[in-house]
Amino acid sequence: MVDSGNASAPKPSSSVKLVLLGEAAVGKSSLVLRFVNNAFQENKEPTIGAAFLTQKTALPTRTIKFEIWDTAGQERFASLAPMYYRNAQSALVVYDLTKPTSLIKAKHWVAELQRQASPGIVIALVGNKLDLTKGAGGEAAALPAEEEGVEGEGEGEGDGDARKITTQEGRSYAEEEGLLFFETSAKSGVNVQEVFTAIANAIPETQMKTSRQGAGGGAGGGTQAALGSDRVNLTGGKGEAKEGCAC
């Protein structure tokens, strides 16, 4: 999307804050794990609170450093979500292709983001667990069917295709709302990298919080620079909060 005009050696590097939202057990953490570590873990235990991870992605013209908030899907953590999406430039709203309620939840998140998050936020709608479906995403069909039994989080019914939400349904909703749309499998890795690359490309360069360039040293400093605004708020709220709890 971005014209590759200048291909000089040290590409400009910028950090992008990304938040993952979605119902419990749709595979948010697994997507991140695939993206960050290129790994997959069966029966992953539920995230508690939120996990913070970073990963760099190289685009033709620049390097994007994702600062990822992987939030827990359980309802009781929902009230904490604003803290994570408040300054995010991008969001990944995930649902489970085999579970209709998860798309409803995803729509709620999209609405909340559009209402509350920063105006220019780039939202990607992601239908995960493509490996449990048949036919849809070409590569997924190649997966042996018996693996579905092993899949812990899957609501799969044992026959070949556990898909409950058609590609069309997801896509048309995404188009209505102006979201990026992907169907992925964190297990097989299908489309995972593509989602993040697409997000990186969709973020206008002006919105990026560019930090010092070059490799290495930029990492820590960049984060803190990007977070400067947060810290100002913190010092204000801290005093009372502490009193409140130290009773």
Question: Interacting stretch for other proteins, rule CB under 8 A, among 66-74, 89-97, 111-119, 204-212?
Answer: 66-74
Distance between CA atoms of 194 and 180, rounded to whole angstroms? 11
- Least separation, in Å, of the C-beta of 14 and other proteins? 18
- Least separation, in Å, of the C-beta of 50 and other proteins? 5
Question: Is residue 85 a contact residue for other proteins (CB under 8 A)?
Answer: no
Question: Is residue 230 a contact residue for other proteins (CB under 8 A)?
Answer: yes
Which residues, listed in sequence order, are joined to residue 68 by a DSSP beta bridge? 18, 53
Residue 58 tokens read as: 């190289």
Residue in the structure block whose two tokens are 């790994």: 39
Task: Judge contact between 31 and 186, C-beta under 8 A.
Answer: yes
- Least separation, in Å, of the C-beta of 51 and other proteins? 5
Q: How many CA atoms lie within 13 A of 147 on its CB side?
A: 15
Question: Is residue 185 a contact residue for other proteins (CB under 8 A)?
Answer: no
Residue 84 tokens read as: 């994570």
Of 49, 100, 120, 135, the one binding other proteins (CB under 8 A) is 49
Element (H, E) at 115: helix 100-116
Residues making contact with other proteins (CB under 8 A): 24, 29, 33, 36-41, 44-54, 68, 70, 72-77, 80, 83, 158, 220, 224, 227, 230-231, 233-235, 237-238, 241-242, 244-247
